[in-house]
Each structure stands twice: as C-alpha cells, then as structure tokens.
C-alpha cells in the first residue's frame, strides 16, 4: 500500500481503480479522471478534482452532490446546555415564587434570575473554552519537547497508531520514517495519538454567547405570561402549559438530532426524550413550589 493509498484510507478519499485490460494505445484512466494541469498554479490537480482546500473538498459527496449546511456540533452542544438549564431552572423559580401570590415578585425575581443566570452560564462557557485552549497549548508544547528530547519514543507512538490496521512492515517503516523527518509530526501526534483538535480562536466568545443567549431565551418563556395577567395563578397555569410544550419539543428535537428523524423507532425515541424533559422540568417546578409554600407557612407569610 502506497502513502497515497494510506492517506485515502484514513481520510475517506475515493480510490479509482486502474484497469489493466486496456490496449496499448488506450489510456488507463477515463478522460474525466485523468490528472489535469493547472496553468495558473503550474501543477497538476489530482484526478480532475480542483485544487481547493480540504474543507471545500469535504462538502462534496461521493455522488458529486454538495452536502447541505451543517451547524458546528460544539454550537449545538452549547445551545443544548443553555436551553436545558433555561427551560428548567427559571421555570422552577417562577413556579415557586407564584406560591407567594404576587405577580410583581414573580416578574422581578424571574428577571433577576434570568440575567444573573445567563451571565453565570456564559462565563462558565467562556472559562471552559479558555481552559480547553490552554490544555491543548500545554499538550502541544509537551509533545514538541518530547520530540526534541526523545524522538524514538515519539516514533514508537506513531507506529502504535498504525499497528491495528495490519499494514505491511515495509509500508509501516516508510510511514514512520517519513513522519519522523516531517515538520507535520507534531500535528500528527496531536490529532491521531492524543486525539486533540486545536480549538478555534473564537471558540470562547462563541461558546459564552451561545450558552448565555440560549439560557435567557429558554428562561424567558415561563416568565412571559406573567407580564399580561393580574392574578398570579393565571400566569402560572399559562406558564405551565407553555413549558410542557416547550420541554417536550426540546426533548424531542434533542433526541432526534442524535438518533435521526425518520422511522417509527426514532419517532418513539424522540417522544420518549420529550416526556423525559417534561418529567424533569415538572419535578423541578413541583419541588420549588413545595419548598416555597413550606417556608411561607413556617414564616407566617
């Protein structure tokens, strides 16, 4: 197996088989798969594929069609964290404050919790992303130091990465020799041995804003009805209805994003995830209301 074939194997590139049954005057590859010469760049492009960057190539499927737009999984994770807390904690607080029977107390207390909670959640996301970036930087520095002090140990680690694939010994030796003398050795060790990806420079701010915004939007929903009612329990009943729908929809979507959308089994899994969210949110709200009523009775309020 050549180095090109190995790269195709690990990066899921399509290898076009070369037929050996052609005549002496016939080309081995069809015209649309022959290497093309780029006059502007002065180099060949591989098998008729334009010499774009890797990200552009990854947006093209095996059938030639472009893949649809996909949201960063980390953004989805951050939004899930913010919405999950925003749909339960503020709802439980507003439901608990409703036991006091004062709409203004619910509104002001809910807004204060929303603002403080969004800031707290955003700072948590920011500090977490910064710690992740610092951890990656420290690990990379340690890897560079190890390469300079003990390159044989690093090369041994590279060999261990490829051992599970049962490569021929001469191929494995060629790969390790090539990487040992390559300036990409650090990147290879970080990605394939430590399984670490370098965080984007905007990761911390993006994570903080996503979590904070998701928390605020999720938490504002149960508070919204109290702006339009005079009786606090009217707002509570409307808030409960909105939150049951919101919690179920959030649980359903969150589950289907993972397991898929089509098919009876996946729909049932989504419904089960929605019911789980409703049970969790309802339990939190019920506990908060019970505690507030208990404290108010003991204090004589």
pLDDT tens digits, one per residue of 113-149: 999 999 999 999 999 989 988 998 999 898 888 888 8
- Each residue of 29-48: pLDDT tens digit? 444 444 444 444 444 444 43
Answer whether residue 279 shows pLDDT above 80: yes
> Average pLDDT for residues 92-107, to the nearest whole number?
82
Amino acid 296: pLDDT: 65
Q: In the 3-class helix/strand/coil scheme, how is the chain assigned residue by residue? A: CCHHHHHHHHCCCCCCCCCCCCCCCCCCCCHHHCCEEECCCCEEEHHHCCCCCHHHHCCECCCCCECCCCCCHHHHHHHHHHHHHHCCHHHHHHHHHHHHCCHHHHHHHHHHHHHHHHHHHHHHHHHHHHHHHHHHHHHHHHHHHHHHHCHHHHHHHHHHHHHHHCCCHHHHHHHHHHHHCCCCHHHHHHHHHCCCCCCCCCHHHHHHHHHHHHHHHHHHHHHHHHHCCCCHHHHHHHHHHHHHHHHHHHHHHHHHHHHCCCCHHHHHHHHHHHHHHHHHHHHHHHHHHHHHHHHHHHHCC
The model's pTM is 0.64
């Amino acid at each position: 197996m050549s180095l090109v074939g190995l790269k195709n194997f690990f990066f899921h590139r399509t290898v076009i088989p070369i037929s050996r049954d052609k005549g002496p005057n016939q080309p081995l590859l069809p015209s649309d798969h022959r290497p093309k010469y780029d006059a502007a760049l002065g180099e060949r492009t591989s098998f008729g594929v334009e010499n774009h960057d890797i990200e552009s190539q990854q947006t093209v499927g095996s059938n030639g069609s472009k893949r649809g737009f996909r949201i960063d999984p980390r953004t989805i994770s951050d939004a899930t964290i913010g919405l999950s807390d925003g749909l339960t904690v503020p709802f439980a607080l507003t439901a608990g404050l409703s036991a006091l029977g004062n709409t203004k107390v619910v509104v002001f207390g809910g807004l204060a919790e929303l603002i403080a909670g969004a800031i707290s959640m955003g700072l948590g996301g920011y500090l977490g992303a910064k710690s992740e970036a610092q951890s990656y930087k420290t690990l990379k520095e340690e890897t560079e130091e190890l390469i300079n002090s003990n390159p044989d140990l690093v090369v041994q680690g590279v060999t261990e990465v490829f051992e599970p694939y049962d490569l021929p010994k001469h191929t494995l030796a060629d790969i390790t020799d090539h990487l040992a003398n390559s300036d990409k050795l650090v990147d290879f060790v970080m990605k394939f041995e430590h399984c670490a990806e370098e965080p984007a420079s905007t990761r911390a701010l993006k994570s903080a804003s996503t979590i904070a915004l998701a928390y605020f939007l999720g938490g504002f929903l149960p508070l919204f009805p109290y702006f339009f009612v005079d009786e606090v329990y009217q707002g509570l009943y409307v808030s409960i209805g909105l939150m049951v729908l919101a919690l179920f929809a959030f649980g359903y979507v969150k589950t289907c994003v993972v397991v898929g959308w089509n098919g009876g089994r996946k729909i049932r899994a989504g419904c089960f995830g929605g019911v789980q969210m409703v049970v969790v949110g309802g339990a939190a709200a019920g506990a908060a209301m019970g505690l507030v009523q208990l404290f108010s009775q003991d204090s004589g309020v």
